Amino acid sequence: MYALKTASNPLMKLRRLTRATELCLCVVLTISWLISSCSPNQIENVAQNEKIALRVAIAQKIADETSRYFENMMSLLGVIAHLPGFGTMTATQQTQILGNVYNHYPMFDRLAVVNLNSKERTAITRMGRFPTEDISKERTEAIRSTQSIGQYIGPVQFAADGHPEISLAVPIESVPGHPTAVLLGHLNLMDLSSLLKDVSIGKQGYAYIVDMRKRQLIAHPNLTVLLNATPSPETEIIHMTSADAPSGVIEFKDTSNQKVHTAVYSTVPRLNWRVFFQETANPK
């Protein structure tokens, strides 16, 4: 019987971290407000700048924690792939280990051991969960990437039920530097949306995450918006952001209701994703 030690989900820390960040920055804002001898207009400008800085800081914290989450999931796959004799185990033994992973890490929709000829040796798939894109092409890319740089992070895909997921892979090696197979995992991204539901910004603010490569939502507090096949209005502001700036702030008008919105954003390292915080300017 093979067992894996349960680790805490780093995304669960985000709610506490964002609140702590907001509290610290609000304290700074309060102190600066009390000791300021500026004019009312100057005070208003300072307060607005502090407000933007607060939202940028929280967006960056979400981006950093999201990146750390993926690093931890990649490390988990590495631990499995480097279990003593894992590469030479029977398919039954490997399936037993993968099933144990499922019990502790339900965010994985699919796990598979893929030989270097792209043939699957064993795989476990949750009922009704399977990507709609060409998985054979993905296997080829995963093998190529793990052989060249030691890991694979695929593009965002969408499963049959519409939820977003991403593929991760690490090499299985009997001898270091000589892979014999690949451990490929499909990671369900719905955890990100569940997290964002608990992040509140101002009176009408909310956060969402966009895949800049495909210009699609991958996390949103409203699951109806996320799972809708029609492109969401949020993705329309992507072209307003600078590709060279990892973070920033933009102001834009919603043509459907003429409301002016402010959005700050920060980039998730390596993934080409951006975390946005959006709210109506001066909501009544």
Q: Per-residue pLDDT tens for 9-47?
A: 544 444 554 454 444 444 433 434 333 444 445 444 546
Residues 6+ apart with CB under 8 A from 40: none
**Whether pLDDT at 103 is above 50:** yes
| Sign of the four-CA dihedral 117, 118, 119, 123 | positive
| Side-chain-facing half-sphere of 5: CA atoms under 13 Å | 5
Helix axes 14-35, 40-81, angle to 10 degrees: 160
- Ordered by where they begin, the domains of the chain are 106-188 (3.30.450.20), 191-280 (3.30.450.20)
Radius of gyration of the chain (CA): 22
Judge contact between 189 and 257, C-beta under 8 A: no
Q: For residues 130 and 169, give the distance between their C-alpha atoms in angstroms, rounded to a whole number.
A: 16
pLDDT of residue 215: 84
Q: Is 158 helix (H, G, I), strand (E, B) or coil?
A: strand
Query: Is the pTM higher than 0.85?
Result: no
Please provide residue 199's backbone torsions phi and psi, each rounded to the nearest 5 degrees.
-100, 110
**One-character DSSP codes across 2-49:** --------GGGGHHHHHHHHHHHHHHHHHHHHHH----HHHHHHHHHH
pLDDT of residue 249: 83
Mean pLDDT of 119-139: 74
Quote the DSSP letter at residue 239: G
Q: Per-residue pLDDT tens for 220-242?
A: 988 888 888 777 777 777 777 77
- Highest mean pLDDT out of 151-160, 231-240, 250-259: 151-160
Q: For residues 23 and 61, give the distance between their C-alpha atoms in angstroms, rounded to a whole number.
A: 14
E-only strand ranges, 91-163: 108-115, 120-125, 152-153, 157-158
Task: Give, rounded to a whole angstrom, the gap between the first and last alpha carbons of the chain.
Answer: 60
Q: Minimum mean pLDDT among 7-11, 78-82, 113-117, 119-123: which range?
A: 7-11
